[in-house]
Amino acid sequence: MAYYFCNKKIFTFVLLFIKLCFHFTTVYCQERKVSRPPEFQNGLRRIFLSIALGVLTGLIGSLLFALVVRSFVRYLNRTPILKGPVLFSPEIAPKTLQSALSNENRLLGSSPSGKYYRTVLDNGLAIAVKRLEPFQTGSPERKSLKRKIQKELETLASLRHRNLMSLRAYVREPGGFSLVYDYVPTGSLEDAMNRVRDNQLQLSWEVRLRIAVGVVKGLQYLHFERDPSILHYNLKPTNVMLGAEFEPRLADCGLAKLMPNLDRTTSGYSAPECFQNRRYTDKSDVFSFGMILGVLLTGRDPTDPFFGEPASGGSLGQWLRHLQQAGEAREALDKSILGEEGEEDEMLMAVRIAVVCLSDMPADRPSSDELVHLLTQLHSF
């Protein structure tokens, strides 16, 4: 847009210059008409006209040259579409990766943004592969979209934090990309909470609070330690992987933004503004975190039919807010983690933090930076 207005200003200036040249030429000739012969007047007019045309030609030539140089520089700076595996880990070799991807792999799960597989390289390293299919074959925007995704993947590969899943490699394929991550055998937070609900796993309040702190520290890194800041766009328990000792690591950071056909508002963890005006900010990530904190506190799934009943207020967030305002927040806590009085005080304070994160207005929610301080004050980490 700025370039358009700049060209418009130059064109206007050139027209004014020509007009002034002809005006002064005409005036001068009229003033000298009585005292100068016609031959002299015509010669003088030709001189002024030649100067004006010369200046105009020079300006147009300079403008065209600048356009050619600008287009050439933009072409050189354009992100090339790379072929073959792009590696960010010395443990992965191109040939072994391509061989592993072509073999039969174990499906770990699927989501609207792609499918997850587990495979093993020739050196015995187990990896997790996510296949993205963001465009259809023959799409007119296919090349530009590939460049956009490839550039974003380069950024995601540079992320280094203990609470983030690091991108180890990616492979461009005819229909999309295969993304390579470390394989986490423990699974996701969603898997762990399902096992808790089935009484197959016990997660103490200390472990759950550690998970919450790790998740918000990952968000803090994305929001405040990256320039420009990075938004997750799709934070939910299935995208929180649990490593050794239930250390959380955020997966799929920013990937939802790369999927043009993905409706991010289908997630029960999405903020209200995502439904209303499709506007997504760091406070939208904070809302999603508030939902995760609510799940850790209550043990309930936001899609539980209970939250469809009028008595619940229609959602996990509304239910927590109602109980907290009525002074009955203890009723919301998962009974399996109720224990010492000191821990219950921490849990009740965490309910208040979750309720603030789930505020309808983004401005009323704390930042991820503030949340790190709030949660770490509850317990010593």
Buried b (16+ CB within 10 A) or exposed e, 64-95: eeeeeeeeeeeeeeeeeeeeebbbbbeebbee
- pLDDT over 50 at 5, yes or no: no
User: What are the φ/ψ torsions at residue 127 (nearest 5 degrees)?
Assistant: -130, 155
User: What are the φ/ψ torsions at residue 92 (nearest 5 degrees)?
Assistant: -115, 125
* Three-class DSSP labels, 280-343: CCHHHHHHHHHHHHHHHHHCCCCCCHHHHCHHHCCCHHHHHHHHHHCCCHHHHCCHHHCCCHHH
pLDDT at 1: 47
Amino acid at 183: Y
- pLDDT over 90 at 22, yes or no: no
**Range from 51-60, 114-123, 191-200, 228-237 carrying the lowest mean pLDDT:** 51-60
Classify the C-alpha dihedral 304-351-329-331 as positive or negative: positive
pTM: 0.75
Rounded to whole angstroms, how far apart are CA atoms 236 and 230?
16
pLDDT digits (tens, 9 = 90+) for 100-116: 877 767 777 776 667 78
Give how far Cα 50 sits from Cα of 15, 26, 27, 207, 269, Å: 15, 14, 17, 84, 71
Q: What share of the chain is helix, strand, coil (3-state, %, to 5)?
A: 55, 10, 35
Identify the band that residue 4 occupies on the pLDDT scale cut at 50, 70 and 90.
very low
**Range from 129-138, 190-199, 240-249, 308-317 carrying the lowest mean pLDDT:** 129-138
pLDDT digits (tens, 9 = 90+) for 166-219: 888 988 877 778 889 988 888 999 999 999 999 999 999 999 999 999 999 999
Rounded to whole angstroms, how far apart are CA atoms 98 and 116?
16
Buried b (16+ CB within 10 A) or exposed e, 313-350: eebbbebbbbbbeeeebeebbbeebeeeeebbebbeeb
User: What are the φ/ψ torsions at residue 3 (nearest 5 degrees)?
Assistant: -65, -40
